[in-house]
Amino acid sequence: MSARAEITVTVNGLTHTRAVDPRLLLSDFLRHELGLTGTHVGCEHGVCGACTILLDGRSARSCLMLAVQADGAAIDTVEGLGSMEALGRVQQAFRDHHALQCGFCTPGFLMTITDMLRHHALESDAQIREALSGNICRCTGYEHIVNAVRELARERGPLK
Amino acid sequence: MTGIDASVELRPRLVGQRIKRTEDPRLLTGCGRYVDDITPPGTLHVAIRRSDQPHALIRGIEAGEAFAVPGVVGVFDASDLDADMAPAIPTSRMTGYYATPFRPLAQGKVRYIGEPVVAVVAESRYAAEDALEHIHIDYEPLPFAIRQVDAVADDAPLLHAEAGTNVIIARTFAHGDVDAAIAQAAVTVHGRFRMTRKTAVPMENRAYLAEWDRRRRALTLHSSTNIPGIIRDVLAACLDLPGNRMRVVAPDVGGSFGGKGSLNHEEMLVCVLAKKLERPVKFVADRMEDLTAMSQAFDELIDATLAVDADGRLLGLDADVIGDIGAYSIYPWTAALEPVQVVSFLPGPYRMAHYRGRVRGVLTPKPPTGPYRGVGRPSSTFAMERLMDMAARALGLDPAEMRRRNLVTTEEFPYRTGSGIIWDRSAFQECLEAVCRHVDYPALVKARDAARAAGRWVGIGLASYAELTGIGSRIAVAPGMPINTGTETAAIRIDATGAVTAAFGISSHGQGLETTLAQIVADEIGCRLEDVEIQHGDSALVPMGTGTYASRSAVLGGGAATKSARVVRGKLLKAAAHLMQVPVEDLDAEAGIIRARSSNATMTVKEVANAVYSQMGRIPHDQREDLVAAETYDPYLGTACSSTHLAMVEIDPETYGVTITRYAVAEDCGRLINPMIVDGQVHGAVAQGIGAALLEEVVHDDDGQLVTASLADYLVPVATSVPDIGIVHVEAELPATLGGFRGIGEGGTIGAPAAIANAVSDALSHLGIEVDTLPVTPDRIFRLVEAARAKGMG
């Protein structure tokens, strides 16, 4: 086995330095090394989107990256969006619209939507559904998620 | 309880309101706790070498250099575990049935690709997977029949030689004289329908963690299961442990849809290994393992003939069904679950005098079929609703009118079908009318006709069905299965601080039962919603509970909650009557306040609880009762839930892709506990039905190899696959269940495949095409169109 590599990543504003196996997946690093189990692993082949995080502000699949590739990066995970006492805005919209059931895909959706709201127009339901189409939810049938995102996009207004 | 407290009806109620879910804050903030989020110190990890043969003798297993991989603790095959764990036997009362033994690892022989053969245990999953590559299994391939039509043949190679046949379950339902009905009919229609194999694809893959407590000689299994009580009972038997030293906990579970509703090899495996090694042992399936080896679903061939008179009234139905049950009879539901339900439910929600349904369940070298949302009824409804439309077309009748003439009417309930199912009163006709009203059916037909005139391939499809939900102890959920699925218990207590804890044997895994059951408990006791904690998903909570499946938890869990809460409320008011010096009849409880109607005197639930438990002498010692109850509810017969779905589709004549342009559901689920949650259940189930209709198919090639082992091959609906769904809640007369609830969890998956198959057939009716296989993919539509054109149609 190859030697461990030292990496430094900033996760939800906290900086961590760790020695990791070069083959360690970023998703496993977050979950098992840092104990941030809110990021879920649903397929490990980049299709389902449950493991989506923000990497330097843009959504990325943490199951398709090695931890060493994130060296020097700023990462945001679901734990950084809000707390049980004070939900973040996207989290609150999900609760208001019953946009989650089992909750397993939810962190990935929350991170994807955070990115989409910053960078995409989301002016129509068709655009919203397109933006969500890289994440799989098996419980909700998506309609309540679309309703939540529609409200968030209206509240945000047109992109500058 | 006797008598109804009229004041209960007058109080503002939580039941019926769109209460936001209490489980959401933890799930939204990454504070959920799924099995893989739990890693006790010293946890060992399992990786599994699975069979790459569909049917073969295991001649030898060599661990090779596996132990040279740093961190490897052990390598195990069946021979290492036999002495420690007895197999699970999925027994049944069905005659002629053979119960295939179910073990953690394959013993002597493998019977499907993906079957667990060797387990490597290591300090990390990475190390365990490294070691897998060093293991060599010497197989002697055996002949096999991969398709069910071949496996039923008399000379087919036997998968379980001990059974003496591949057909391990067979049943015939017969009522009336179906041959005469067919002979006399004005019109008969026939089809050979195929509902292909599916898999549930919950977003959390299966995960199991077993912990052996050396001090107590006790085992705790954390399992992504929706039947913790059943798993506790069977593992206790297999390991010869008493139930107080075998506990199964289902923490947050990331969906199941039935896929996590049976005993799995791997959960047996981690238990026996944890006990043997005296360390925590974890197995987490990856997606490929779940797609390859989790229980699968449906997979029937239905050969059926429907006879109708000149007015379109149903005379009789004759069906022959072959269910491909895979390599094992699943525990506890048995191989009868899926195929026998198909022939039980084929007559549908219709009046029909003559019926014959024959079913054979046949072993094939594939993963076992087990429960998947809808069980049997997606297939039976697909076949029956296709036949209804084919008959309507033959007679020139509108499909809505065809159903109107045949759906059981209000005055006919309770109605006994040809297979013996008894429909209690439900809104069969009303749902059809409601969905037609909701979409303005005549206008929709006009719009379709106009689009057609312009050369577009547009169609409308209806599907009506009924299902049994909340089934009590009169019949088992799975035909012939000896486990009691007809009762549930709620253990409710108000503690010394006034907090209310309600513990159940059911197991929520997305249904929001922590919210809906709390609504019921708070209403019935008269306490505040926020004072109620719902506990579930833990076999230690009640003496026996089977879990959440078969659209039962609202009915059985809700009924048990109601019963127990009423007893607790009685004790609470009795204590308050002593404390407040008023007759108990004068008291009412609401939102945590107990109030005397004849005066302004009040006490809080908290004050009463404190007095009962913590203040000696406040209540006469021979009158004092703990504020607890553990009542069991048995709805005995259960109740029907009925629905009509409507789909409108457009097919692209160049790509053959199907777009759903309109979708609506009218359903009768009795009293709604939380309409927001009911909507969510319907949306999710319809989406899965859309997947079954248009996308999802588990494909094994002729060599028995799975060719849909990734989510890029087994396609599930994404946001762009699913339209907005219009929902009409038809609350007809409430059923006799306690609380008036009916089950709603599965319905969407039952109606959608049939409605879409009918809509696609309608869109292609100018070519004379009748859809008989689902999913109706672009590839299948292309072939149907080509075949029709070759015959000179279109």
Place B2 in a pLDDT band, splitting at 50, 70 and 90. very low
Cβ distance of A101 and B511 shorter than 8 Å: yes
Task: Please write the tens of the pLDDT for every residue from B676-708.
Answer: 999 999 999 999 999 999 999 999 999 999 999
Q: How far is CA B357 from each of CA B282, B317, B343, B387, B583, rounded to the nearest angstrom?
A: 45, 8, 5, 15, 61
Q: How far is CA B243 from each of CA B282, B492, B744, rounded to the nearest angstrom?
A: 21, 21, 32
pLDDT at B8: 47
Pairing of strands B532-535, A14-20: unpaired
Chain B residue nearest residue A85, CA to CA: B25
Task: Please write the tens of the pLDDT for every residue from B410-427.
Answer: 999 999 999 999 999 999
Distance from B721 to chain A by nearest Cα, in Å?
9
pTM, to two decimals: 0.97
Q: Which residue's entry shows tokens 């197991």?
A: B507
pLDDT at B12: 65
Question: Residue B751 pLDDT > 80, yes or no?
Answer: yes
- Percent of chain B at pLDDT above 70? 98
Non-local (6+) Cβ contacts of B423 within 8 A are: B349, B408, B413, B414, B415, B416, B417, B466, B640
| Chain A CB contacts of B676 below 8 Å | 98
| Chain B CB contacts of A52 below 8 Å | none
pLDDT at B186: 98
Q: Select the residue from A98, A132, A145, A149 to test the B interface by mutation, using most B Cβ atoms within 10 A.
A: A98
Q: Which residue's entry shows tokens 């191989």?
A: B335
Closest by CA position to A43, among listed B529, B249, B711: B711
Interface of B with A in 684-723 (CB under 8 A): 684-688, 710-712, 716-720, 722
Is residue A75 situated within a structural domain?
Answer: yes
Task: Please write the tens of the pLDDT for every residue from B118-145.
Answer: 999 999 999 999 999 999 999 999 999 9
Distance from B29 to chain A by nearest Cα, in Å?
6
Phi and psi at B777, nearest 5°, equal: -80, 165
**Alpha carbons B74 and B66: distance in angstroms, whole number:** 9
Q: Which helix (H) or strand (E) holds B570?
A: helix B558-580
Residues B509 and B256: beta-carbon distance below 8 Å: yes
Q: Select the residue from A104, A140, A144 to test the B interface by mutation, using most B Cβ atoms within 10 A.
A: A104
pLDDT at B481: 86
SS3 assignment, position B656: coil
**Alpha carbons B461 and B663: distance in angstroms, whole number:** 10
pLDDT at B1: 34
Q: How far is CA B233 from each of CA B102, B264, B483, rounded to the nearest angstrom?
A: 15, 14, 10
The per-residue pLDDT of chain A, averaged, comes to: 97
Residues B111 and B327: beta-carbon distance below 8 Å: yes
- Its CATH class, for the domain covering B374-474+638-790, is alpha beta
| Chain B CB contacts of A35 below 8 Å | none
Place B7 in a pLDDT band, splitting at 50, 70 and 90. very low
Residues A103 and A48 in one domain: no
Q: What is the CATH number of the domain that holds A49?
A: 3.10.20.30
Cβ distance of A40 and B254 shorter than 8 Å: yes
pLDDT at A160: 77
Cβ distance of B680 and A98 shorter than 8 Å: yes
- Mean pLDDT computed over B495-504: 98
| Chain A CB contacts of B126 below 8 Å | 21, 23-24
Residues A109 and A59 in one domain: no
Picking from A21, A101, A105, the nearest residue to B512 by CB comes out as A101
Residue B286, token pair as written in the block: 């990856």
Cβ distance of B32 and A96 shorter than 8 Å: no
Task: Please write the tens of the pLDDT for every residue from B174-193.
Answer: 999 999 999 999 999 999 99
- Identical fold at B6-31+487-633 and B35-142+205-253+260-293? no
Q: How far is CA B462 from each of CA B65, B141, B233, rounded to the nearest angstrom?
A: 60, 48, 43
Q: Which helix (H) or strand (E) holds A144?
A: helix A143-156
**Alpha carbons B719 and A146: distance in angstroms, whole number:** 8
**Alpha carbons B269 and A54: distance in angstroms, whole number:** 37
Residues A74 and A100 in one domain: no
β-partners of residue B668 are B642
Does ipTM exceed 0.85?
Answer: yes
SS3 assignment, position B187: strand
pLDDT at B10: 54
Q: Select the residue from A94, A122, A139 to test the B interface by mutation, using most B Cβ atoms within 10 A.
A: A139
| Chain B CB contacts of A45 below 8 Å | 287-288, 710-712
B424-436: burial string, b at 16+ Cβ within 10 Å, e else = bbbbbbbbbbbbb
**Alpha carbons B670 and B736: distance in angstroms, whole number:** 10
**Alpha carbons B15 and B42: distance in angstroms, whole number:** 46
β-partners of residue B298 are B197
Is residue A93 situated within a structural domain?
Answer: yes
Question: Residue B256 pLDDT > 60, yes or no?
Answer: yes
- A154 at the B interface (CB within 8 A)? no
Interface of B with A in 285-324 (CB under 8 A): 286-288
Residue A85, token pair as written in the block: 């006492």
Residue A19 has a CB neighbour count (10 Å cut-off) of 10
Ranges of each domain in chain B: 6-31+487-633, 35-142+205-253+260-293, 374-474+638-790
Closest by CA position to B381, among listed B341, B430, B334, B322: B341
Look up the domain containing A32 and give its range: 5-79
Among the candidates A44, A79, A114, a domain finishes at A79
pLDDT at B732: 78
Number of domains in chain A: 2
Picking from B28, B255, B712, the nearest residue to A138 by CB comes out as B255
- B677 at the A interface (CB within 8 A)? yes
Cβ distance of A84 and B257 shorter than 8 Å: no
Residues A21 and A39 in one domain: yes
- A4 at the B interface (CB within 8 A)? no
Cβ distance of A141 and B253 shorter than 8 Å: no
Residues A66 and A17 in one domain: yes
Task: Please write the tens of the pLDDT for every residue from B222-255.
Answer: 999 999 999 999 999 999 999 999 999 999 999 9
- B471 at the A interface (CB within 8 A)? no
Determine if the peptide bond prior to B775 is cis (ω within 30°).
Answer: yes
**Alpha carbons B638 and B633: distance in angstroms, whole number:** 11
Sign of CA dihedral B341, B346, B347, B348: positive
Cβ distance of A42 and B512 shorter than 8 Å: no
Pairing of strands B354-363, B314-326: parallel
Interface of A with B in 37-76 (CB under 8 A): 37-45, 47-48, 50
Is residue A84 situated within a structural domain?
Answer: no
Residue B108 has a CB neighbour count (10 Å cut-off) of 9
**Alpha carbons B156 and B144: distance in angstroms, whole number:** 7
Question: Residue B5 pLDDT > 70, yes or no?
Answer: no
SS3 assignment, position B191: strand
Q: How far is CA B477 from each of CA B486, B532, B638, rounded to the nearest angstrom?
A: 8, 30, 10
Q: How far is CA A18 from each of CA A9, A33, B145, B240, B633, rounded to the nearest angstrom?
A: 9, 9, 53, 45, 54
Picking from B27, B716, B725, the nearest residue to A103 by CB comes out as B27
- B5 at the A interface (CB within 8 A)? no
Chain A residue nearest residue B291, CA to CA: A43
| Chain A CB contacts of B720 below 8 Å | 129-130, 133
Place A1 in a pLDDT band, splitting at 50, 70 and 90. low
| Chain A CB contacts of B683 below 8 Å | 140-144
Cβ distance of B28 and A105 shorter than 8 Å: no
Closest by CA position to B285, among listed B223, B208, B344: B208
SS3 assignment, position B258: coil
Cβ distance of B724 and A143 shorter than 8 Å: yes
**Alpha carbons B417 and B401: distance in angstroms, whole number:** 21
Interface of B with A in 745-764 (CB under 8 A): 748
Task: Please write the tens of the pLDDT for every residue from B272-292.
Answer: 999 999 999 999 999 999 999
Phi and psi at A36, nearest 5°, equal: -90, 80
Is residue A124 situated within a structural domain?
Answer: yes
- Its CATH class, for the domain covering B6-31+487-633, is alpha beta
Residue B719 CA to chain centroid, in angstroms?
Answer: 23
Residues B209 and B222: beta-carbon distance below 8 Å: yes
**Alpha carbons B249 and A65: distance in angstroms, whole number:** 33
User: E strands, B273-419, where?
Assistant: 281-284, 296-308, 314-326, 354-363, 415-416
Q: Which residue's entry shows tokens 């027994």?
A: B91
Longest dimension (CA), chain B: 94
Tell me the count of A-B CB pairs closer than 8 A. 181
**Alpha carbons B630 and B628: distance in angstroms, whole number:** 7
- B558 at the A interface (CB within 8 A)? no
Residues A105 and A41 in one domain: no
| Chain B CB contacts of A134 below 8 Å | 718
Q: H/E/C letters for each residue in B405-446?
A: CCECCHHHCCEECCCCCEECCCCHHHHHHHHHHHHCHHHHHH
Q: Give the total residue count for chain B.
A: 794
Question: Residue B3 pLDDT > 50, yes or no?
Answer: no
Task: Please write the tens of the pLDDT for every residue from B326-343.
Answer: 999 999 999 999 999 999
pLDDT at B160: 97
| Chain A CB contacts of B203 below 8 Å | 40, 42, 48, 50, 102, 104-105, 136-139
Closest by CA position to B540, among listed B235, B222, B248: B248
Distance from B122 to chain A by nearest Cα, in Å?
16
Domain B35-142+205-253+260-293, CATH 3.10.110.10 — does that match? no
Place B748 in a pLDDT band, splitting at 50, 70 and 90. very high
| Chain B CB contacts of A103 below 8 Å | 23-24, 27-28, 32, 252, 254, 510
Query: Residue A17, class by beta-carbon neighbours within 10 Å (0-12 exposed, 13-18 middle, 19+ buried)?
Result: exposed
Interface of B with A in 234-263 (CB under 8 A): 252-255, 257
| Chain A CB contacts of B34 below 8 Å | 37, 40, 104
Non-local (6+) Cβ contacts of B435 within 8 A are: B462, B644, B645, B646, B664, B665, B666, B728
Question: Residue B501 pLDDT > 80, yes or no?
Answer: yes
Tell me, what DSSP letter sits at residue A66? Answer: B
SS3 assignment, position A82: coil
Non-local (6+) Cβ contacts of B448 within 8 A are: B458, B459, B460, B648, B762
Distance from B718 to chain A by nearest Cα, in Å?
5
Tell me, what DSSP letter sits at residue A58? Answer: E
Task: Please write the tens of the pLDDT for every residue from B44-72.
Answer: 999 999 999 999 999 999 999 999 999 99
